[in-house]
A and B are shown apart, each in its own frame.
Chain A
Amino acid sequence: MLQGDRQGHAVRYHRVMPVEIDIVKVAQLARIALSDDELDMYSSQLADILEHAERVQALPTEGVEPTSHPLPMVNAFRPDEVGECLEPESFLSEAPDTHDGRFRVPRILG
């Protein structure tokens, strides 16, 4: 597949190998219960995404400075000063369950 890049140069996109995904493990890591149909659907969608990532990775980037953020900025700092906090009632009243000023959640290990 040939396509022009922004400068109009021809860039060859490699045909990449289909990506194997352990979709059951991915679902388990995200703590999502999925039906068999859903597993199939997400498996193929995720494979598309990863294949796209592989194509991007195959681009010749030698000599290109790595980018870790889209904006050319660093060091947005805050001085070490104490500011206002929220009144506990203002957010505890929004929680599904609270006890003694604390959030109450189901047991952590099932």
Chain B
Amino acid sequence: MTDWEAVIGIETHVELSTNSKMFCSCPTEFGDEPNTAVCPVCLALPGALPVPNEKAIEGIVKIGLALDCEINERSLFYRKNYFYPDLPKNYQISQYTYPVCEHGSLDVDVDGEPTVVGITRVHMEEDTGKSSHIGDGGGRIQDADHTLLDFNRAGVPLVEIVTEPDITSPEQARAYAAELQRIVLALGVSDARLEAGSMRFDANISVRPVGTTELGTRTETKNVNSLRSLQRALAFEIDRQIRVLEEGGRIVQETRHWNEDTGVTTSMRTKEESEDYRYFQDPDLLPLEVTKEWQDEIRATIPELPAKRRRGFLDAGVDVETAGVLADDDDLSRLFRDAVAGGATGRTVGIWLTGEVIAYLRRQEITIADTSLTSGHLVELGSMVDGGDLSSSAAKEVLLAVLEGEGTPGEIADARDLLQVSDTGAIEEAVDAVLAANADAVDKIKSGDMKPFGFLVGQVMRHMGGKADPKVVRSVLEQRTGS
């Protein structure tokens, strides 16, 4: 039996969240009313000329820099000619040779296994309008008898990010897509909503016998609109290709449509046609020049990126998962950093923020800003736990009360009578009383049977009304029983 390996490349489209479209001043936000955000330029009326949106160029340069790309100082717009009516011009303004960004990379990590995904290019183009296929086929393009067109989205700035075929598993593909989404969100250049289509993934997939270098025939899978469907669609398509090849068939180069409900990909084209977009340089548009000076200005506006932020959190002592959750949230990241800078233990604060605090915010459907929790509270709470004044379970109760706005951790612990006794004298007295009442248990322990030890700890805690520091109780018990 042949062992197969998958070769995957991903094309990602990201709609930039500018106010106006790429080449005209129509708004990029519009309601449900069709064809209300259009003008002579995006309707391709004769004589209308496109003029690029400067903010969109800054957006794509930010993405390119964040992906370690080389920014071409000079790049060109091309016309991509095709025959779908989703753009009135009959072509899409895109880039071909000399895209804005080339030769980048993105590090992704699956279960601690790092991979570098090469970025071939990042280019600027415009989004298409929305087509609705009407007919008996339930919206399937093949079965439609006519199509309705709404051009509100036509001309919205769109950035396409193309990877090298460096991805070898559906899990890696998902990790790449998730990291790219985090970066785009951190840059603030797009709302990157997969379900709303402002970030979309198309995956090129082929399989080949392990150990061979020649690429197999690839298919392109479209219509994945969540990270989970990307992973599922790829897993399905890899299995399908392997099955076809093992049964002696051949893979047809085609576009396939992922169906989330049935969990399968199906061929989208009714007939084979080679794609020939007859790219040529758009004579309506001047060359684009992004000088080193402009690049430097844009670079200076790039915030800390998720990977760097996570590394900082890992260095502060949290685990990989916690670092990831914290880094995805600006408010939590800031609280964490300030608390650690104030002397709190990173690990403890990380657990509180990603545990109790997130759960509370979700329950109440609010954000950190809606609560009175400060980094100072976290520092205070941490020092109470570290000093043995508060058990870790009581700390969680106090934390919730702080979130509810009941006061500072000290005030709350005091008011709720949660402070625990770590005073050895009081605990020794309780231990002696318990030992005197449980001579049998003491004998057992002295003869090497440790079973009753936990029972004795419980008795002492009970004697202290639950407010003794269990660590101190254990250590006093160990001394007294000689265990």
Contacts and interface: CB of A to CB of B under 8 A. Distances in A.
Interface stretch (A45-53, A54-62, A65-73): A65-73
A85 B85 CA distance: 21
Contacts of B53: 77-80
Interface in B27-60: 27, 33-40, 43, 45, 51-57
Interface stretch (A9-17, A34-42, A96-104): A96-104
B385 interface: no
A20 interface: no
Interface stretch (B164-172, B286-294, B341-349, B460-468): B286-294
A8 interface: no
B481 interface: no
Given A68-B76, A78-B53, A107 B38 contact: no
B25 A82 contact: yes
Contacts of A84: 25, 39
Contact of A74 (B25, B281, B286): B286
Interface residues of B, number: 55
B150 interface: yes
Contacts, number: 129
Contacts of A102: 34-35, 132, 148-150
Given A107-B145, A108-B131, A108-B133, A80 B56 contact: yes
B215 interface: no
B308 interface: no
B374 interface: no
Nearest to B130: A102
B20 A81 contact: yes
B289 A75 contact: yes
Given A101-B33, A108-B144, A109-B142, A74 B289 contact: yes
B20 A108 contact: no
A109 B20 CA distance: 32
A80 B35 contact: no
Contact of B276 (A29, A71, A73): A29
Given A74-B289, A78-B51, A104-B147, A91 B43 contact: yes
Interface residues of A, number: 33
Given A78-B53, A85-B27, A100 B34 contact: yes
Interface string B1-29: 00000000000000000111001111100
A1 interface: no
A92 B35 contact: yes
A106 interface: yes
Given A77-B51, A78-B53, A86 B38 contact: yes
A105 B85 contact: yes
Contacts of B405: none
- Classify the interface of chain A: helix, strand, loop or mixed: loop
B149 A83 contact: no
A91 B39 CA distance: 9
B74 interface: yes
B183 to A, nearest CB: 21
A85 B25 CA distance: 8
A6 interface: no
B34 A77 contact: no
Contacts of A108: 84-85, 131, 133, 141, 144, 147
A104 B39 CA distance: 18
B278 interface: yes
A37 B133 CA distance: 37
A102 B26 CA distance: 17
B135 interface: yes
A88 interface: yes
Contacts of A33: none
B447 interface: no
B100 to A, nearest CB: 12
A85 B37 contact: yes
A107 B144 contact: yes
A64 interface: no
Contacts of A75: 286-289
Contacts of A2: none
B26 A85 contact: yes
B286 A100 contact: no
Contacts of A106: 146-147
A52 B20 CA distance: 42
Nearest to A71: B286
Nearest to A80: B55
Contact of A104 (B57, B76, B148, B289): B148
Interface string A22-38: 00000001010000000
Contacts of A101: 33-35, 150
A31 B147 contact: no
Contacts of B281: 68-69
Given A73-B286, A85-B26, A107-B135, A78 B54 contact: yes
8 contacts: A77-B57, A78-B52, A81-B20, A99-B148, A102-B34, A102-B148, A109-B144, A109-B269
Given A80-B56, A102-B132, A108-B131, 10 more contacts: A31-B83, A74-B289, A75-B287, A75-B289, A76-B52, A78-B23, A78-B51, A79-B53, A83-B20, A105-B85
List 6 tightest A-B contacts by C-beta distance, closest first: A83-B25, A80-B55, A77-B54, A74-B289, A102-B148, A103-B149
